[in-house]
């Protein structure tokens, strides 16, 4: 799914959660950040190549919005880092391991990880075999589930319509609660 929709879904989630248990501003920001991060981190090697070597901004921006088979050419090291960072950030085993390590360190679940998890779960079903199927079981396999590509026009319209409806419901229910 696109990064804006990922962040909005996470925002809807933290809004609901916040009504049940008060969340600090830091927790909310970290949750939204982790919901967006998986689609940003793999751009870092390309940005480094642009900033510190002979890469171009056109390649960076072209990569960010590329469709399969139309990606700009990248040096092998950039390609390798970018690919594996993308896999790592979309991997349920990696996210599970991180959640476990953080839980062992804190003896409590760290709520912002829900942002990351939401990104992975949503992406598994909103990518298709033809549109960057998500390597959800990386590093065991890079094969992914054949879902509905989020770029499909009817899906995109219904996704944002659903988000707008949820947003309106959240605002209205807040107003009603405040008016009591
Ligand atoms: Zn993603």
Give me the pLDDT at residue 180, please. Answer: 57
Dist. CA 176 → ligand 1 center (Å):
35
Dist. CA 45 → ligand 1 center (Å):
17
Domain boundaries, the chain: 3-179
Mean pLDDT of the 8-26 span? 95
Give me the pLDDT at residue 102, please. Answer: 97
pTM: 0.92
The percent of the chain in helix, strand and coil, each rounded to the nearest 5, is 70, 0, 30
Give me the pLDDT at residue 105, please. Answer: 96
**Could you read off the pLDDT of 118-177 as tens digits, one per residue?**
999 999 999 999 999 999 999 999 999 999 999 999 999 999 999 999 999 999 998 888
Strand locations in the chain, DSSP E? none
Angle at 49 between CA 143 and CA 86, to 5 degrees: 20
Residue 97 is inside which H or E element, if any? helix 92-106
Dist. CA 38 → ligand 1 center (Å):
5
Dist. CA 143 → ligand 1 center (Å):
15
Residue 34 has pLDDT above 90, yes or no: yes
Dist. CA 153 → ligand 1 center (Å):
18
**Could you read off the pLDDT of 49-107 as tens digits, one per residue?**
999 999 999 999 988 888 898 888 999 999 999 999 999 999 999 999 999 999 999 99
């Amino acid at each position: 799914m696109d990064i804006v929709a990922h962040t909005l879904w996470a925002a809807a989630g933290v809004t609901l959660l916040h009504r049940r248990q008060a969340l600090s501003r830091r927790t909310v920001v970290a949750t939204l950040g982790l919901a967006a991060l998986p689609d940003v981190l793999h751009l870092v090697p390309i940005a480094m190549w642009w900033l510190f070597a002979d890469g171009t901004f056109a390649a960076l921006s072209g990569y960010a919005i590329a469709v399969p088979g139309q990606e700009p050419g990248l040096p092998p090291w950039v390609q390798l880092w970018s690919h594996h960072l993308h896999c790592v950030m979309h991997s349920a085993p990696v996210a599970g391991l991180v959640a476990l390590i953080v839980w062992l360190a804190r003896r409590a679940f760290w709520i912002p990880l829900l942002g990351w998890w939401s990104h992975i779960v949503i992406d598994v079903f909103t990518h298709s075999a033809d549109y960057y199927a998500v390597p959800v079981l990386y590093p065991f396999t890079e094969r992914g589930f054949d879902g509905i590509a989020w770029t499909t026009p009817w899906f995109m319209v219904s996704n944002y319509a659903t988000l707008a409806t949820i947003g309106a419901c959240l605002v209205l229910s807040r107003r009603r609660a405040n008016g009591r």
